[in-house]
Amino acid sequence: SDDPNTKNVIIGQDARGNLVVAYWSISDNLVYYTISKDDGKTWSDSLPIPGVIGAAAVYKSNLDDYAMAADGDGNLHLIIVGQETAVQSTLDVLDVVWDGVAWQAPSVVAAYEGDVPEWPRVTVSRGNIVNVVWFVRAEETIWDSDNGKYRVWYARGVTSAARVNPEAIPTFTPTVEPTALPTQVLTPQVDAVMNANDLDTAPVSNVRPQSGDVLYSETDYVLFLAKSLIPSVIFLAGVFMVNFIRRK
pLDDT in the model for residue 196: 43
CA distances to 109, 115, 186 from 149, rounded to whole Å, are 22, 12, 76
pLDDT means over runs of 10, the chain (248 residues): 79 96 94 96 96 91 89 96 92 96 96 94 96 93 85 93 84 74 61 47 44 54 71 79 75
pLDDT in the model for residue 130: 97
pLDDT in the model for residue 118: 93
pLDDT in the model for residue 208: 46
- Using a pLDDT cut of 70, give the percent of the chain over it: 79
pLDDT in the model for residue 231: 78
Burial state string for 27-56 with b = 16 or more CB within 10 A and e = fewer than 16: eebbbbbbbbeeeeeeeeebeebeebbbbb
pLDDT in the model for residue 246: 75
> How many Cα atoms are found within 13 Å in the side-chain-facing hemisphere of 33?
25
pLDDT in the model for residue 239: 76
pLDDT in the model for residue 157: 94
pLDDT in the model for residue 209: 43
